[in-house]
Amino acid sequence: MRRSKKERQQLLTATIKDNPFITDEELAEKFQVSVQTIRLDRLELSIPELRERIKTVAEKRFEDEVRSLPLDEVIGEIIDIELDQSAISIFDVKEEHVFKRNNIARGHHVFAQANSLAVAVINDEFALTARANIQFKCSVKLNERVIAKARVTKIDENAGRTYVEVKSFVNAELVFTGEFEMYRSKNR
């Protein structure tokens, strides 16, 4: 059944409101129109693309949860977090992150994603890296998406330390590991 443009756009708005993570391709299939039509509808309605919608939802969801640093200081985008337990972030490697001669990501970007995630997962207003044992497993290239997963392995309240393990993946391949010893306030 063909819908009028106005009706389609009303349904599109409602669908995206219900599920901000729906892709343009899924919307095109749902409304039986081209992906280009969906993109034009979104532009006309001032609805941002999927990546921006994910970022907005994550910022709203986590801005009150993350205590140790502002969300805009996290390298990558936090997509899930349980303070003092675990967190996940994504980082898309772009031209400004790679060496021009070989399109391999500079290591400090991959480390920064893991380190800032280790800080963000701590349920404290004060968190700093005391020590890190890191290992790059393989190179990350231009246009790849790095998914970092942090897991709190130990909290030592007396010493004011939290230990966080971070593993970073491209697709299912492990590209980086880090064990972070983090300073935190002794009295919370």
90 or 51, greater pLDDT: 90
Phi, psi of 171, rounded to the nearest 5 degrees: 55, -125
109 and 174 both lie in a single domain: yes
Digit-coded pLDDT (tens) for 96-155: 999 999 999 999 999 999 999 999 899 888 888 999 999 999 999 999 999 999 999 999
Cα→Cα distances 34→4, 24, 26, 43, 80, Å = 15, 9, 10, 14, 32
The domain of 22 spans: 5-47
Does a structural domain hold residue 145? yes
83 or 107, greater pLDDT: 107
38 or 54, greater pLDDT: 38
Task: Give the number of domains in the chain.
Answer: 2
The predicted structure's pLDDT at residue 137: 97
The predicted structure's pLDDT at residue 51: 72
170 and 119 both lie in a single domain: yes
Residue 12 belongs to a domain with what CATH number?
1.10.10.10
Digit-coded pLDDT (tens) for 155-187: 998 899 999 999 999 999 999 999 999 998 765
Q: Is 66 helix (H, G, I), strand (E, B) or coil?
A: coil
CA–CA gap between residue 185 and residue 188 (Å, rounded): 6
Does a structural domain hold residue 53? no
